[in-house]
Amino acid sequence: MDLTMFGAMFAGVAFFFGFPAFAASVLENGLGLEHPWGQWMEGGIRLALLAGYLGLVGLVPEIRRVYGYHGAEHMSIHALEAGAPLDPPSVARFPPEHPRCGTSFLLTLVVLSIVIFTAIGPLPLGIRIASRIVLIPVLAALAYEYIRLLARVADRWWGRLLLAPNLALQRLTTRRPEPAMIEVALAALDAVRRAESA
């Protein structure tokens, strides 16, 4: 299990951080681009890889089913936060997208990487790739805090505007669930609430 987790983490970092830095560096040199075009190109590649990956895995029937459970989870949390009854008909009224979703976190992380890596400026390829990997915890912390902040201002017009791209990307990772999926989400939510109150 540990080896599998490490392998998956390594592959994810290499694919979403190492490869875009390498590809952008090659294109930068080949096309003679100067700062900040290379960093923007790197961010664009990273964003395309994220959206493409989420969209492609969503074509797998089993994953589409997981996305239905993902939507049911969000809808249950919406109902809880709204003080609505926690039963399937009530939960079914809520949207499957949620401001504090992990998909939103990933998009925010990618967008922040464009800003931060552009501010750092051009670097030799080896240092460039290393800097992307070393700064992942910083980006993750900033993305987490940004998502929390957005959730607090989601009821304001400018908050909804800032939140719109995150919710749009979630349409790739959530589906309207079947009633049985909502029942599973509610059972899981009930178990968590009981564990927290114990």
Q: What confidence tens digit (pLDDT) does each residue in 120-166 have? A: 988 999 999 999 999 999 999 999 999 999 888 988 999 999 999 99
The pLDDT tens digits of the residues spanning 94-118 come to 999 998 998 899 999 999 999 999 9
Q: Calculate the alpha carbon distances from 171 to 38, 79, 81, 103 in Å.
A: 29, 19, 21, 10
pLDDT tens, 151-163?
889 889 999 999 9
Mean pLDDT of the 52-66 span? 93
Q: Which of 3-7, 45-49, 92-96, 166-170 has the lowest mean pLDDT?
A: 3-7
Band of pLDDT at residue 34, cut at 50, 70 and 90: confident
The predicted pLDDT at position 6 comes to 82
Residue 154's pLDDT is what?
87
Q: What's the rounded mean pLDDT across residues 11-34?
A: 88
Geometric angle at alpha carbon 189, from 145 and 166, rounded to 5° = 35
Residue 198 has pLDDT above 80, yes or no: no
Six-digit token string for 152? 């607090």
Q: Provide the phi-psi class of 85: left if phi over 0, else alpha when psi is between -120 and 50, else beta.
A: beta
Task: Please say if the pLDDT value at position 8 is more than 90.
Answer: no
- According to the model, what pLDDT value does residue 173 have? 94
For residues 100 and 104, give the distance between their C-alpha atoms in angstroms, rounded to a whole number.
Answer: 7
What is the rounded CA–CA span in Å between residue 186 and residue 11? 34
